[in-house]
Structure 1
Amino acid sequence: MSGNDEMTPDEKRHDQLTSAPDATEADAAPRIDVSTHDGVKRIDIRDDADVRPGGPEVPSED
């Protein structure tokens, strides 16, 4: 069994996201919150996530 098999899923995620040459600890910061209420799973994008889904901001034409 390799050492990687003994890692938790969170440790594996952190290891993968920080293994690139220019990676920082911020790259492994959480980006989502998962909660379950009455058997329904909800996934929310964290307000403090540096990387968010969606297109780039389009400047308004004032």
Structure 2
Amino acid sequence: MSTPDHASADDETFEEKRHDQLTAAPDATEADTAPRIEVSEHDGNTRIDIAPDAPVRPGPGPGVETDDASS
């Protein structure tokens, strides 16, 4: 009986699957796999923060007008 040349998707860890997905695009680089969030737990509460060095952050992008300017 022969063994497959590659591991099945079920044998891959979450991090391996994440890496494969984030580097699948034609212009993807290893930098695309950098963590974008930081998860911590304090007294039973889970806190999720955007990593300070994340290249993409939530919210309106540069040059996007918001309703804050009208106040």
Q: TM-score, normalising length from structure 2?
A: 0.73
Moved over 2 A (4+): none
Q: Deviations over 1:3-40 (max 9, x none)?
A: 21111111111110001111111111100001111110
Gaps of 5+ in 1: none
For 1:10 and 1:30, how far apart are their aligned partners in 2?
11
Higher relative contact order (CA 8 A, sep 6+): 1
Report the CA distance between 1:57 and its aligned residue: 2.5
Aligned to 2:11: 6
Gaps of 5+ in 2: 1-6, 64-71
For 2:9 and 2:25, how far apart are their aligned partners in 1?
17
For 2:56 and 2:9, how far apart are their aligned partners in 1?
27
For 1:9 and 1:39, how far apart are their aligned partners in 2?
24
- Identity across matched positions, percent: 65
